[in-house]
Homo-oligomer: A and B are copies of this chain.
């Protein structure tokens, strides 16, 4: 590196590396008052057939329906009937109860791992409600709400978590890495981001076949940095795929805040602009806004209007997983300070404000959910918990690597079986 140009250099300041840092660290008192939260009902709602560019102002806005007075307001109000709202509320409560029980089960040594979605329940539950049963989801590990809302049996979920005899995945997957074709829920991968462009491929297939089913791909804020995010966006844009691409921005990726994925400079919804596809930024703690946005994108996709990127703005209220203790990197009180509130409380209050719900009904519904989860857990545990597994049917380990068991796996199976599993 010879001849530096002295003329230019003389006035050049020293370059500096900027390393994003979250506003608050352990010991700080979180204060989100500087975060601008647009009011409910403020965001305009373009027609679902509008050019993508007409949505781009919404990528820096925030679609919100439920106001501080618990009323649904504005163009995005999906005007759902009280039964649908109560169904969503019940599903969200079930998700939270389920999370609590399974978290505890892990702590009790009944399984190896668990991940909650506390604070994010509205997103998966309302998305499930806005699509039809046969639309296809390519989820991450934090959309258990999809399965619950679609009526997948709780016991089946738990059997997967316990890797037990009732586990249809035959003990092969880490807990919560569900898969269920009948409920339109693609196998969860441990490798972040992979499902996002897969969703686009599925949607392309649906278009190739002249089908009417659409796909929804999910990704976390942190995982948007993976190349797969870009692949999904590119393929969706190029082929005008009938797909909804959802980024759940819960502010954290294990210990890294969303700024490490680029959120200091742009919203995740804004990525849509660069690909020329529709984009929406949505209050993820507002079940009605989530519902309305997904419904909008689904209508668009289903009428060959192409893909929509939706950012659900929310907050991961608990640890990343049972392996994580967030007090090591953020204030314990941050979740409470988060200005968008609790999604369950917000929907509940809305129903109450409508005169369609009350404390008592809520308490008894919660109790029902709780006992449904407990019952399911009892059923599941009858089929075994993780520490008891992996001893029987050792030979099954060699199946499903291929459609048929080739000779080398057959040999290995025989050896493993004769060893009796250690």
Contacts and interface: CB of A to CB of B under 8 A. Distances in A.
A5 interface: yes
B239 A262 contact: no
Interface stretch (A116-124, A203-211, A346-354, A362-370): A203-211
A391 interface: no
A48 to B, nearest CB: 13
Interface in A8-40: 8-9, 12-20
Contacts of A275: 262, 265-266, 271, 274
Chain A interface residue count: which class? 35 or more
B265 A132 contact: no
Contact of A12 (B16, B212, B229, B234): B212
Nearest to A236: B262
Nearest to A193: B227
Contacts of A302: 8, 12-13, 15
A238 B211 contact: no
Nearest to A229: B230
Contact of A234 (B132, B210, B261): B261
Given A15-B210, A212-B15, A239-B19, A5 B274 contact: no
B16 A304 contact: yes
Interface in A360-402: none
Given A12-B212, A273-B270, A275-B265, A17 B239 contact: yes
B134 A4 contact: yes
A337 interface: no
Interface in A262-313: 262, 264-266, 270-277, 302-304, 306
A134 B210 contact: no
Contact of A262 (B228, B261, B276): B276
14 contacts: A3-B134, A12-B303, A13-B302, A14-B210, A15-B242, A17-B207, A20-B238, A52-B265, A227-B231, A262-B276, A265-B276, A265-B277, A273-B273, A274-B274
Top 8 nearest A-B pairs (CB, nearest first) are A227-B227, A265-B276, A266-B276, A230-B230, A271-B274, A5-B132, A274-B274, A18-B240
